[in-house]
């Protein structure tokens, strides 16, 4: 079942126990395909609504379809969710799915390079940054990393406090102070992590350490990392997308991979509908009933 992520076998048992109706796995598969067919216009409207969002979250995760590695792409907000799969992970897949190419809002993501192929403001996930900083602190004793983590948390608390008081922005002096400290921490990090020495007899530069990789990203994408300081609509992290990705990981743990491409596509479409319905406060069972009546819910703000 697409809502509770039960495999076909257990779904058959549940339906038989609740309603006394024995159904084959083939029948359940046909039900899923029929539901997916009804949701074509809903998916189109959902993608259009996400494309017009002021801020949206994006992520991707690997999964198996017919035993082959494929990529599931997620675009979401607090009220909208869209799942899709594609053989590729990067720009080609994102273009084919069709949300990012015309997206005009701020795209929140984990700094995967393909996202930067699309124009518009970007915001990087500071949840990822804090985890990477924690690794550098625990494994390598990097003092600058501890100070950077403290700075990011202080900036987050300052923004949340301002929001709680009804303010729409931090005062410029506060923002400037945070930015100055941010650059100081990066300078300290580079001083503590000189570039790798060239290995005699090998071409090119030596491999960069995890610390320098993170420093390079924080330095290059300062604007994207600190965008939440300047625009209160932008969140501190990409947790929204990570929560929506988690449901796919649960599906994989429960049922494994998908047996067919058609089954994966139907799952993504129905799951998008149910996740969006739940986010908007609808009863999921009622959403399914309406769907099988041929009248799927009109999910705000989806202009169907």
Residue with tokens 């675009």: 75
Q: Is a pLDDT exceeding 60 seen at residue 236?
A: yes
The pLDDT assigned to 149 comes to 98
Contact criterion met (CB below 8 Å) for 36 and 269? yes
Average pLDDT over residues 253-259: 82
The pLDDT assigned to 6 comes to 67
Nearest C-alpha neighbor of 189 from the set 225, 144, 152: 144
pLDDT in tens, 32-76: 899 999 999 999 999 999 999 999 999 999 999 999 999 999 999
Question: Do the strands 106-109 and 68-76 form a parallel or antiparallel pair, or are they unpaired?
Answer: unpaired
Strand order in the sheet with 81-86: 81-86, 68-76, 55-65, 106-109, 122-124
The domains found in the chain, sorted by start residue, are 8-121+243-292 (3.30.420), 126-230 (no CATH)
Give the model's confidence band at 4: pLDDT under 50 very low, under 70 low, under 90 confident, else very high: low
Looking at residue 115, the DSSP 8-state letter turns out to be G
Which range, of 133-142, 159-168, 192-201, averages the lowest pLDDT?
192-201
Contact criterion met (CB below 8 Å) for 156 and 149? no
The pLDDT assigned to 201 comes to 65
Distance CA 75, CA 192 (A): 38
Distance CA 28, CA 197 (A): 60
Encoded tokens for 123: 């915001």
Encoded tokens for 244: 């929506």
pLDDT above 90 coverage of the chain, percent: 77
Q: Is 203 helix (H, G, I), strand (E, B) or coil?
A: coil
The pLDDT assigned to 206 comes to 66
Which pTM value belongs to this model? 0.91
pLDDT in tens, 124-153: 999 999 999 999 999 999 999 999 999 999
Average pLDDT over residues 80-84: 97
Helices (H), 123-198: 126-140, 143-164, 172-192
Average pLDDT over residues 179-200: 92
Encoded tokens for 240: 């929204």
Nearest C-alpha neighbor of 158 from the set 147, 145, 171, 146: 171
Distance CA 47, CA 107 (A): 14
Torsion of CA 4, 280, 103, 69, to 10 degrees: 0
Distance CA 97, CA 105 (A): 17
């Amino acid at each position: 079942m697409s809502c509770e992520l039960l495999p076909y076998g257990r779904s058959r048992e549940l339906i038989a126990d609740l309603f006394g109706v024995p159904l084959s796995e083939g029948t359940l598969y046909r039900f899923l395909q029929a539901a997916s067919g009804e949701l074509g216009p809903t998916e189109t409207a959902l993608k259009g609504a996400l494309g017009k969002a002021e801020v949206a979250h994006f992520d991707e995760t690997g999964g198996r379809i017919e035993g082959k590695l494929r990529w599931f792409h997620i675009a979401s907000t607090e009220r909208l969710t869209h799942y899709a799969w594609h053989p590729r992970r990067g720009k080609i897949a994102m273009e084919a799915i069709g949300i990012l190419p015309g997206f005009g809002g701020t795209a929140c993501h984990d700094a995967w390079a393909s996202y930067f192929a699309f124009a518009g403001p970007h915001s990087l996930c500071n949840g990822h940054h804090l985890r990477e900083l924690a690794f550098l602190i625990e494994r390598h004793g990097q003092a600058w990393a501890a100070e950077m983590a403290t700075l990011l948390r202080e900036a987050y608390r300052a923004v949340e406090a301002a929001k709680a008081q009804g303010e729409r922005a931090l005062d410029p002096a506060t923002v400037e102070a945070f930015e100055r400290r941010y650059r100081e921490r990066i300078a300290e990090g580079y001083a503590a992590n000189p570039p790798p020495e060239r290995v005699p007899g090998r071409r090119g530069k030596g491999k960069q350490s995890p610390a320098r990789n993170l420093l390079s990203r924080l330095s290059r994408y300062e604007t994207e990392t600190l965008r939440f300081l300047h625009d209160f609509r932008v969140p501190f992290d990409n947790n929204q997308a990570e929560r929506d990705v988690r449901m796919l990981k649960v599906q994989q743990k429960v049922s494994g991979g998908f047996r067919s491409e058609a089954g994966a596509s139907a799952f993504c479409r129905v799951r998008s509908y149910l996740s969006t319905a739940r986010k908007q406060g609808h009863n999921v069972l009622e959403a399914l009933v309406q769907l099988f009546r041929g009248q799927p819910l009109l999910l705000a703000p989806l202009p169907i």
